[in-house]
Chain A
């Protein structure tokens, strides 16, 4: 059984499953509460429709035994909240706070209105002469832990790859580091998720995840001369 999210968008990173797990947990808890509240609510509306000659009851709701009807559900809500908080914080910690050591690092640059990427060349290191720069196409090797260095040249952008469940705003003046590890080869959408001006809807990019052999082949045939142009 796939998760709720996976039904609509592939999970292609190591932490996608964790995030889907939190989403599923919340869906179950709030689904239960939401449905229960709606059913009780509609049930009361039906049960207490006006009947001829029957007066409504006089209930203040301020006495202890009456308050219990509201108090106990709300203690339960509190317990559910704690469950959700613990699950959410654990996943957040793994995805955003605790960066595993990198196998490779890529630079991701948002600008009006395109994404440029700098990949390490055959030497595996960024900021060397054999770097490979591309526009609107990020090439990754499956099963590799990547750190990304996210920058913006002008306004806020947001680096979002739904298949990775990854999203991070790019802030001009800062270099933000994060990580991901692709688990599936294929080609996935990269969207800009922060309003960045007229072309905001027109800066789609693609994430291409390749096997080790494919990645080596791409690297070999790729012209590295563009790197100099992108490097500042």
Chain B
């Protein structure tokens, strides 16, 4: 077991080059692009991620309009050609996973929360941290640039299966495809750097007295996710380099005519791609866990159980990748093995959800905006989880593979992760980040305006999947079975719901910026939470605390019998408790 260390101070000082608490004006460039402060880097990741989410959301709007009203002149976009349609769906997926879910959930919350919840003054490697964001920003710029080069952005789906992705004569995006690969590879570099930092900081820079099982679950989840990411991404980086060589210098790694094998890429991609699902899921689950304990004033039910289910899920996730390839030409006997592992992953995940539901029992539940988001995460994720069984089971996957059923299923997992989980975290830690409270009324309008249309978008898509509608098809009018008017009604309903949902996001954007100025001052601990980040100023100054805290107990000591307060801060010495008791 790693020792709680105070060395962080020394590391951090080396990175900052000036004493903590010292106030001096920095130029815009130094403050916003060259900062080594973990809080500033977290903000950079968060705002970049949210900006990318706007792009990804707009893309969804454009292609959903084409699907519901084929050939329409889409307002603010124009007509969607087949090539543009492919590029829109490809980059919508790429952006939402790699440039929204990952930066916001892991990088923004990881950077912001790890030092604050562990009671140290910064990440262990501040300059690596800065480099990580800069590379990430570069990757985002490369990706956005790729939409505007000759031939347009890459349109071979976010999974980029060769030979389509490998040869310009097939994909007709001679520049878009390599730039897409370069952008994704740069993004991986950024997250490898970040991941090293997260794991090292969590293992080495905890407050004195904080034992492994005193770490809040959200930090554990980010650490496990970082390890999963680092362990799974290697094969894909190798695969991406081979793909880039196939694209640019004419090698034949994936070209069957020259002894290559296109299915190789699928293995490398999904060996990373499936753990990646849990890389983004776990931090969201962690955020939700912390929020439901605070607003039900309850200790997390079975803290260790949650951790063990997360370990088990992480480990199992390395052995399920080929369920994406049941019908892709792998040996059909392999499907049996992967059906077993895939369906079994439902055990730890179901247990995780049971534990969260059990935490609510006996609670004193306050339906604040962050709590509503956290509860909606559980509600939606259960639907996402159970519909996954249809796809993990080989026999039914034959029919559902690559249909809208798959699409609806993973949006019921990724939407809770990347949107509901993120809103849970942002609304919960906003007071700490900006020192002001968000407006609750606007928050609730935004919540209902998001969660209702969300279900209205994706429930019809399950039905379309049952009707055999395949993904990534530009215009369903060409297929008599799919051109039926009742199916078009479902598509129109989903599209209109999407527009409603997107419009409600402006409520959030307004609330976010307006509350920075006009919100009620938050004080140190507005939610009466017991974890360490709430023991410092809001927002925390440089160095986080004037005097670094010590830790005396676990993170979820709510409603402890015999105490007057219904929370027990982790940094409150036991002696002080003896007086109140």
Binding site for B on A (CB under 8 A): 4-5, 7-9, 18-19, 22-23, 26-27, 29-31, 33-34, 37-38, 40-42, 44-45, 48-51, 54-62, 66-67, 69-70, 73-74, 77-78, 81, 84-85, 87-93, 95-97, 112, 154-156, 158, 160, 162-163, 165-169, 171-174, 176, 187-189, 191-202, 204, 206
Contact = CB atoms under 8 A, between A and B. Distances in A.
17 contacts: A8-B463, A8-B467, A30-B386, A34-B382, A37-B382, A41-B375, A45-B367, A56-B363, A62-B303, A70-B351, A77-B350, A84-B393, A154-B170, A168-B329, A172-B256, A173-B257, A189-B479
A23 B396 contact: yes
A165 B471 CA distance: 16
Given A56-B298, A73-B354, A96-B327, 14 more contacts: A27-B390, A38-B382, A48-B360, A48-B363, A57-B298, A60-B299, A60-B303, A81-B347, A91-B394, A92-B394, A154-B163, A154-B170, A197-B171, A202-B475
A207 to B, nearest CB: 11
Interface in B366-395: 366-367, 375, 378-379, 382-383, 386-387, 389-390, 393-395
A95 B398 contact: yes
Interface residues of B, number: 98
Contacts of A112: 170
A198 B344 contact: no
B78 interface: no
Interface of B: 82-83, 85-86, 155-157, 159, 161-164, 170-172, 256-257, 261-263, 296-305, 327-329, 332-333, 335-336, 339-340, 343-344, 346-347, 350-351, 353-355, 357-367, 375, 378-379, 382-383, 386-387, 389-390, 393-396, 398-403, 463, 466-468, 470-475, 478-482, 558-561, 566
A91 B353 CA distance: 30
A89 B339 contact: yes
A172 B400 CA distance: 23
B402 A158 contact: yes
A56 B302 contact: no
A25 to B, nearest CB: 9
B466 A9 contact: yes
Of B332, B399, B475, most A-chain CB atoms within 10 Å: B399
Contacts of B329: 168-169, 171, 174, 176
A89 B159 CA distance: 26
Contacts of A92: 332, 335-336, 339, 394-395, 398
Nearest to A165: B399
Contacts of B296: 48, 56
A44 B361 contact: yes
Given A9-B468, A59-B299, A61-B300, A85 B256 contact: no
B300 A156 contact: no
A155 B170 contact: yes
Contact of B357 (A5, A33, A41): A41
Contact of B393 (A26, A73, A96): A26
A92 B355 CA distance: 34
A195 B389 CA distance: 24
Contact of B478 (A5, A88, A154, A204): A204
Contacts of A195: 86, 156-157, 159, 161, 164, 471-472
A114 to B, nearest CB: 13
